[in-house]
Amino acid sequence: MQSEWTRPETTAPPPRPHSPLITPNTVSQVNRARVLQALYDVGPLSRADLARLTEVSRATIGSIVQPMIDNEMLAEGDPQPSGAVGGKPSRPLWFSPNSPPIAAVHLLPGHVETALVSAGGTILTTARREYPADTHDSDLVVDAVTDALDELFAPNRPAALGVGIAVGGMVNTDSGTIVQVNLAPGLAGLPIGPLIADRTGLPVYVDLHPRVQALGDRWFGQGRGLSTFASLYAGEALGVGLVLNGSVHRGPGGAGGEIGHSIVQVDGLPCHCGQRGCWETIATHRWLRDEAARLNLPSASTLTVGPLTRLAAKGHPGAAELFDRYVDNLAVGITNIQQILAPGLFILHGDVVAGGEALRGKIEWRVRQRTAAHPGSQPQIAFSALHDDSTLLGAAGLVLSHFLQLTP
């Protein structure tokens, strides 16, 4: 009788391990990623600072960063005075101006915005192209993107690391294909990633706009160094990207992320997605303008959050009521997210930022009022400091995450 500890005779090859063994090359990549992650989280750091943060010796840090200096990924800054008496001046490390840039694309219904972004998060140049929002001709869309990218790729610039594309609708992140854009139905099924890769010869990564926006916050905004937060866009549309435990949350193939289409009013207003009562139906410009017209507010058809806030502050009849209802409508969705996932920090982008402190403070108060009390998760509302650049910076972060094998 065969012992249970005896390998049975078989002609089949032995099973492969579920994950590859750690090789010296893998260790090198992990160490490099830890150093670069520290720089992105904190900013320019000396070798001594990096050694303290990563808990390794200065000699080890030197062996990690020197190849990146040699290949012009990193550069040493001017000597800084040492805090120790008689100590040797330190030289902070940051991304070299000669390091390869990243091409960033924001694909919207009717137009495309692009930028060339440095590894350190500086926007070097931008280009914009338009296309018919109702087109079903994929060539028109791809031509608009590649024409804008061609303008960025000047002959004297280093070759780009890759292209990151943010799409204002559902995407399949595995295939780089647009699944659905409600405001531009003709984009459905467009394999934008492979098509742009064929045109440019560069690696291309595609994701949903709110998730890309969250990456912009994670690498270059108020989310730097944080493992968990939410990034919310409110204006013509509504979307939320979530960073949970250090990673942008994605379902299989990039599914999910359509929080603007979560139902907050059963049998509520019809949404352009075909459902009723979506959060987006009560917290975007469309709702704001419809209600402003009903209340006979001035310039109702073009009203945005900034003018509404000013009208409310002046005591205009109806404006204060609409302002408070808009706050409540934003707060109800934010509260739901906080109750389920507790991201704690919500970084707001888009037209909502024009409401200023009056709006931010009221939203935060309403969310805290509605959220179950917990000593470790008091929700905070912040306005983005990246202004209109967050999505393009996030598209660059999408490329960096893959290329540098950092947490995406």
Cα separation, 257 vs 211, in Å, equals 7
- Would you say residue 5 lies in a domain? no
Q: pLDDT digits over 177-197, tens only?
A: 999 988 888 999 999 999 999
Domains contained in the chain, number? 3
Cα separation, 265 vs 275, in Å, equals 11
Which of 59, 74, 95 terminates a domain? The answer is: 95
Query: Which 3 state secondary structure label does DSSP give 159?
Result: coil
Query: Tell me, what's the pLDDT at 2?
Result: 43
Q: Is the pLDDT of residue 279 over 70?
A: yes
- Would you say residue 357 lies in a domain? yes
Query: Average pLDDT of the chain?
Result: 89
Cα separation, 269 vs 281, in Å, equals 6
- Would you say residue 9 lies in a domain? no
pLDDT higher at 80 or 167: 167
Query: Tell me, what's the pLDDT at 32?
Result: 84
Contact between residue 248 and residue 214 where contact means Cβ atoms under 8 Å apart: yes
- Would you say residue 238 lies in a domain? yes
Same domain, 255 and 376: yes
Contact between residue 93 and residue 45 where contact means Cβ atoms under 8 Å apart: yes
Q: Is the pLDDT of residue 407 over 60?
A: no
Q: pLDDT digits over 205-239, tens only?
A: 999 999 999 999 999 999 998 999 999 999 999 99
Query: Tell me, what's the pLDDT at 121?
Result: 93
Same domain, 151 and 190: yes
- Would you say residue 3 lies in a domain? no
Q: pLDDT digits over 113-168, tens only?
A: 999 999 999 999 999 999 999 999 999 999 999 999 999 987 777 789 999 999 99
Contact between residue 235 and residue 350 where contact means Cβ atoms under 8 Å apart: yes
Q: What are phi and psi of 33, to 5 degrees?
A: -65, -40
Same domain, 47 and 111: no
Same domain, 205 and 261: no
Query: Tell me, what's the pLDDT at 318?
Result: 94
Average pLDDT over residues 381-398: 92
Q: Is the pLDDT of residue 38 over 60?
A: yes
Same domain, 236 and 375: yes
Contact between residue 183 and residue 168 where contact means Cβ atoms under 8 Å apart: yes
Of 333, 107, 309, whose CA–CA distance to 230 is shortest?
Answer: 333
Contact between residue 404 and residue 33 where contact means Cβ atoms under 8 Å apart: yes
Same domain, 125 and 209: yes
Same domain, 172 and 257: no
Cα separation, 167 vs 395, in Å, equals 10
Cβ neighbours around 13 below 10 Å, total: 6
Contact between residue 313 and residue 177 where contact means Cβ atoms under 8 Å apart: no
- Would you say residue 8 lies in a domain? no
Query: Tell me, what's the pLDDT at 242?
Result: 97
The parent domain of residue 182 ranges over: 102-215+391-403
How wide is the angle at C-alpha 214 spanned by C-alphas 213 and 219, nearest 5°? 100
Query: Tell me, what's the pLDDT at 8?
Result: 42
Q: Is the pLDDT of residue 289 over 90?
A: yes
Same domain, 306 and 202: no
Q: pLDDT digits over 232-274, tens only?
A: 999 999 999 999 998 999 999 999 889 999 999 999 999 988 8
The kind and range of the H/E element at 94 are: strand 93-95
Q: What are phi and psi of 94, to 5 degrees?
A: -150, 175
Task: Among 26-30, 47-51, 347-351, name the one with the lowest average pLDDT.
Answer: 26-30
